[in-house]
Amino acid sequence: QGKLFASPNGNGEDCSEAAPCKITKAFTKLSSEKNILFLRGGIYKIERKLEVKASGTKNKPIIIESYPGEQAVLTAYATKQKVRAGNMAQAAIYIGGKENQYIHIRKLEIKNMGGNGILIMRSSNNKVEGCKIHNNFNTGISIYADIKGGSVADNNKIIDNIIYNNSDVGLNGTMNGRYYNNGDSADGISIVRGNTHYNKIVHNTVYNNSDDGIDVIISRNSYIAFNLTSKNGDPVVISG
């Protein structure tokens, strides 16, 4: 399996272990051949969303994770003023479209984003596992399909994450493509907007989020089990 390496101060061209590159460059190099990205420990300042444009397969997924024994921290240093101005990242990691599937994100810490920590939009067969996602200004992990039913977001798995202190208190209205409702938009985990099937939310610890701990709206056959939720706006909301 092909491996890529990034570090907070990386400046290599090939993203090798000996000469890691910037995280933005590493994301562009992900492919069916270079399918594993190790992020060396340290703090990565995220100025724009990191979009996964490659696709894996069931037997050979795209994997993005902290280097073994180290902790990669993705942060935007967002404030309410920056959110209103729109001059910072709206999400740390974005997976979008049916052509981008089988992406596994593991053992990352993500904080201070102007929107979501991780946003999965119209994409299926992805996994977020063992991450710590906190202090973002919208939902920690969001799964979206299409409210009109024209696309799907199926078979995504959210497993063994710790998600807390995500809050949009003090933010109102639509800004820079994100909707804020003074605390009523930032969930811990959400599956929203339509045509989603067979997503799994299992073994997560979710607390102190301003809206719901886990919010599932208009989603068929979602499996939600063995999660610990506390001190959220609401613990678990399932509707539609």
pLDDT level of residue 76 (50, 70, 90 thresholds): very high
Residue 129 reports pLDDT greater than 90: yes
Residue 238 reports pLDDT greater than 70: no
Average pLDDT taken over every residue of the chain: 92
How far is the CA of 75 from the CAs of 88, 133, 157, 165, 239, in angstroms?
Answer: 10, 10, 23, 14, 32
From 150-154, 209-213, 226-230, the region with the lowest mean pLDDT: 150-154
- 148-180 pLDDT, tens digit per residue, is 666 889 999 999 999 999 999 999 999 988 889
Give CA angle at 172 (147, 240), nearest 5°: 30
pTM above 0.85, yes or no: yes
Contact between 156 and 120 (Cβ < 8 Å): yes
- 14-50 pLDDT, tens digit per residue, is 999 999 999 999 999 999 999 999 999 999 999 999 9
Which helix (H) or strand (E) is 37 found in, with range? strand 34-39
pLDDT level of residue 2 (50, 70, 90 thresholds): very high
Residue 236: predicted pLDDT:
54
From 140-149, 152-161, 210-219, 221-230, the region with the lowest mean pLDDT: 140-149
Q: What is the mean pLDDT of residues 218-234?
A: 89
